[in-house]
Amino acid sequence: MLLGERYRLEIHWDKVSYEKDGIAKIEGCYLSGPVLKEVEQLNEEDSIALDFVKQYGIFVKHYYIAKLSWEGVRHTLDKIFLDNVKLENMNINAVPKMKDDDYIVVDTRNHEDEKHKYQLTYISYLLKSDGSLYVFGG
């Protein structure tokens, strides 16, 4: 996985739980990474579409795009903390479950102002706590 460091966004959490079909609740969620230097204030309530198709394609027939939504934002110098975070997709229980010490890396390179309107999803990957990529199916 080649990802220019400038465009790297990481999504970390303390705990993830699967309480309802299609929804993973994420507690202690925060964003970090070099791209935060270029990010303006996030909306208090918003969502982004994370495209995991390159990694999870083996488990689902068509595509695997999950909606990451939040209600509440706190900005610090090097992190953005998100409250009431959910990751939603109807197939979320058919793919390997995320662990509390995993994290997601997001490629934001196609989401600068002039390109964003043409790129509605963010290419994303689930990584293990040691930074290695989960390789499913081979």
How many CA atoms are closer than 13 Å to the CA of 94, on its beta-carbon side?
13
- Going residue by residue through the chain, which has 138 residues, state the pLDDT in tens, using 9 for 90 and above: 445 678 899 999 999 999 888 999 999 999 999 989 887 788 999 999 999 988 887 787 777 899 999 999 999 989 999 999 999 999 888 888 999 999 999 988 765 555 545 457 889 999 999 999 998 865
pLDDT of residue 135: 87
Closest C-alpha to 96, from 51, 128, 73: 128
pTM of the predicted structure, to 2 decimals: 0.89
pLDDT of residue 33: 93
pLDDT of residue 105: 96
pLDDT of residue 97: 92
pLDDT of residue 30: 98
